[in-house]
Amino acid sequence: MDGKMKVGDLVQVANNCTQPGDQWHPMGAKCACFFCAGNSNRIGVVIGPAPKNSWAVMFDCGEAIVDDFEEARGEVKVISKSRRDDNV
């Protein structure tokens, strides 16, 4: 895929959590990031543009903002391009 998100694309966010679940912690401490807290599969659909070089993406755990810089760093990748014709 050539990247460059657009409306209708299917994207996946990398699992770069720095706080994996700690089985030895007495309270069972787990990562509290948006995706882990929502028990997400980290796959979402781009639903529209957002301010400052970013996109609104709907994930299974809710809406989040993803920016072009996260895509450039490889933290987000387009896994399926939209077939939508932007000229319509």
Read off the pLDDT of residues 19-28 as tens digits, 9 standing for 90 and up. 655 555 555 5
* Whether pLDDT at 18 is above 70: no
pTM of the model: 0.80
Q: What is the DSSP string of 9-74?
A: -EEEE----S----TTSTT-----SHHHHTT--SEEEEEEEETTTEEEEEETTEEEEEEHHHHHTT
Segments forming the whole domain that contains residue 34? 10-80
Arithmetic mean of pLDDT, 31-56: 91
User: Alpha-carbon distance 83 to 63, whole Å?
Assistant: 22
Q: Considering the domain boundaries, does residue 87 fall inside one?
A: no
Q: Considering the domain boundaries, does residue 3 fall inside one?
A: no
Q: Considering the domain boundaries, does residue 4 fall inside one?
A: no
* Whether pLDDT at 64 is above 70: yes
- Tell me how many domains the chain contains: 1
Q: Considering the domain boundaries, does residue 23 fall inside one?
A: yes
Q: pLDDT category, 74, cuts 50, 70, 90?
A: very high
